[in-house]
Structures are given as C-alpha cells and as structure tokens.
Amino acid sequence: MWQTGYYRLRQFWRGWFATIDPAELQHALAYLPPPAQMRFQALPIDAQRHSLNVLQTLQQRSAVPDDLTDDLAAAALLHDIGKLAADEAGLRINLWVRGPLVLLEKVAPRWLERWASPEATQGWRYLLYVHLGHPTIGAQWATAWGCTPLTCWLIAHHQDKLTATPGNEAEQLLILLQWADSLN
C-alpha cells in the first residue's frame, strides 16, 4: 500500500510540473492517424506527458520487433485516451481526481464498481465509470480513428492482468506496455 501511495505521489508531482517539447510532440504524433493526433492533444498536459514517458521507456527497450514498433508506440500514446469521455460530459479526470480514484480502486474496488454509472448525467458516478472503462472506451475510439487492430487490442487490454505466460506476440507487447506504464 505504501509503495502505491509513494508511486502516486511521485506521479502527481511529475504531472504538476509536466512540460512537453514541441519537437518531442511532433515525433510522437507521427505514430498516430490524424483524428487520433487531435484527440491526443486534447489530453491534459500531465496525461500527454505520462503517455510520452511510456513511449520513451518503450523506445529505449530494443527488444520490440520492427514490424510491431508503430502499433506499440500508438498504444503507448493512446492507452489512457478513453479518460477524455469524462471531459465530454463536462467532468475531468485530472491530477486531483486521478490519485484518489486509483487509491480507492486499490482499497475498495467493489465500491468503485458499485458506485460507477454509465450515465453521463450522474456526475462523479460517471467519472468512476470512465475511470474503470477507459480502456474499452479508448479502444473503440482508436478503432474509429483508423488505428490498427493490434493497437486497439493493446489499448483495450492495457489494464488486464495476464494469468499465464504470454501466448502470442500481442500478449508479449501487452506486457511491455504494462511494464512501461508502471514505470511512469
């Protein structure tokens, strides 16, 4: 529990002081189709920074086959894009909300699921729903924006816990994405 709290506190401070270099952003956007580029830039700066850090962590690891690099890069950038669904409802999963949501999910996951509502008019209850469902929401959007099926699968499953040894390349990439996400 303390480790989770320390990680979230560090993540909060990194997000509070987040900046993005324009050249870095342009490099990253090259992995995304134009509609996804626009949506990525709609993320709050701290969320963009987090995704860019995940991408950089993956790019520093050379074990990804060249033909899968673009799919993994796009998934790294868009893995949390579904959280924008809250913005569309006039809500925002920002730094002040994200930490308590994650801690609540660790401490009382059943409460979080019970309180969540798929109705955008339900305010904070919809925020809980988006927090829990953002992988599915993000994957659906990424599909509509023209991302590859593999990218969309990685987004949809980025919070899944694999219970067995990876059985295919997609699951191996998922483990890499989760690893990089956990470091950032």
Tell me the pLDDT tens digit for each residue of 76-85: 999 999 999 9
CB 174 within 8 A of CB 160: yes
Of the CA atoms within 13 Å of residue 22, those in its CB half-sphere come to 0
Q: Quick count: other Cβ atoms within 10 Å of Cβ 179?
A: 13
Q: What is the pLDDT of residue 89?
A: 87
Q: What is the pLDDT of residue 4?
A: 53
Q: Is the pLDDT of residue 3 over 60?
A: no
Cα radius of gyration rounded to whole Å, the chain:
16
The pTM (predicted TM-score) of the whole model is 0.84
pLDDT average, residue stretch 5-30: 72
Q: Quick count: other Cβ atoms within 10 Å of Cβ 105?
A: 17
Tell me whether residue 159 is exposed, middle or buried, using C-beta atoms within 10 angstroms of its C-beta: 0 to 12, 13 to 18, 19 or more: middle
Helix (H) or strand (E) holding 151: helix 149-157
Q: Average model confidence (pLDDT) for the chain?
A: 87
> Which of 3-17, 144-158, 167-181 tops mean pLDDT?
144-158
Short-list 62, 79, 39, CA closest to 181: 79
pLDDT average, residue stretch 49-53: 95
pLDDT average, residue stretch 120-136: 92
Q: Quick count: other Cβ atoms within 10 Å of Cβ 108?
A: 12
Short-list 130, 117, 120, CA closest to 89: 120
pLDDT average, residue stretch 125-147: 96
Q: Is the pLDDT of residue 48 over 60?
A: yes
> In this predicted model, which residue has the larger pLDDT, 13 or 156?
156
pLDDT in tens, 151-161: 999 999 999 99
Q: What is the pLDDT of residue 165?
A: 84
pLDDT band at 62; cut points 50, 70, 90: low
